[in-house]
Amino acid sequence: MIDLQGIEPDSAAQLRQAFDHKKLAHSYLFVDPTAERAKTTAYWLACLFNCTGKNRPDGTCRNCQQILSGNHPDVLLISPEGRETLGIDQVRPLKAELAKSPVESTCRFFFIESAEKLTAPAANALLNLLEEPIAPVVTILLTTNSNQILPTVRSRTQLLTFGASSTDSKTSQLLASGLTPAELAEVGETTDLDQQIKYYYEEVLADDLKSVVTAYQLAALAPSHAIQKYVLIQLKLKAQAGLRQPAVQMANMKFLAGLVEVDKLRFSHVNFKQALEYLALQGKR
Ligand SMILES: [Zn+2]
């Protein structure tokens, strides 16, 4: 059983964005020195596509369970299974499979593990699948080393490199602050959110009444528990950084104390707004 907690958040966030904008590529090359995160992220993508739950992918609905246990009819994994090479015989079933319609969903997912082990004939047999599939399919080649992938294959796939941004200080700071990789992926793109968080924080600190309005706007951008958690973590990091500046030290201490109170609650959308209002008005009490 694959555990969705093992995804790489940055790559998953990129894939979610492509999925949300209906811009998923036909074929990907996932390059991951550890191999495991890329494989888990491939399964995560198939779950995202097929999940019937509310927080996609939940990992718990029937489709997700089938995918994660390797039993979904439209999600196929080809792997060398201990062999030195992946030959044409291993690849052929994919082409046969493609001639049929998907069993349960509208798109199939083919995963090829250790793609660097593809023989040249097997890789060549895959080329038209990678380029222009005759049926809706997303093929993901998984490898630990992109240099061992034939250029003809590489040029037909969209490259996604895992671990490239694992030293990204924002990501590691968020993970260290208690956001899980799955939550981080759910949060996704944060440009607008980060801006509202910044306004809100600055207005609260300045005792500006606009912060009540901003609280409302910020809450509207944070409909899920994961995003709310992200907002609270970012506010906390800002306040902690603010403690180092003597002029605003007291205001930040007060803000942090308010955050501790707020952090104890698990929010619905409505009372997340109230919590932000409470924080905004704290200085007025
Ligand atoms: Zn699901």
The pLDDT value given to residue 199:
95
Please name the CATH architecture into which domain 4-167 falls.
Answer: 3-Layer(aba) Sandwich (3.40)
Residue ranges per structural domain of the chain = 4-167, 190-284
Q: Ligand 1 center to residue 193 CA distance, Å?
A: 26
Q: Ligand 1 center to residue 259 CA distance, Å?
A: 32
The pLDDT value given to residue 145:
87
Mean pLDDT score across all residues of the chain: 88
Q: Angle 178-187-194 (CA atoms, 0-180°, nearest 5)? A: 90
pLDDT in tens, 77-126: 999 988 999 999 999 888 888 877 777 778 899 999 999 999 999 999 89
pLDDT in tens, 116-160: 999 999 999 898 788 877 788 999 999 998 888 999 999 999 999
Of residues 184 and 265, more confidence is placed in 184
139-178 b/e with 16+ CB inside 10 Å = b?
Answer: bbbbbbebeebbeebbebbeebbbeeeeeeeebeebbeee
pTM of the full structure: 0.64
Nearest to 64 by CA among 77, 76, 75: 75
Q: Residues in the chain, how many? A: 285
Q: Ligand 1 center to residue 223 CA distance, Å?
A: 19
pLDDT in tens, 164-209: 654 466 777 787 788 888 898 899 888 899 999 999 999 999 989 8
Q: Ligand 1 center to residue 10 CA distance, Å?
A: 20
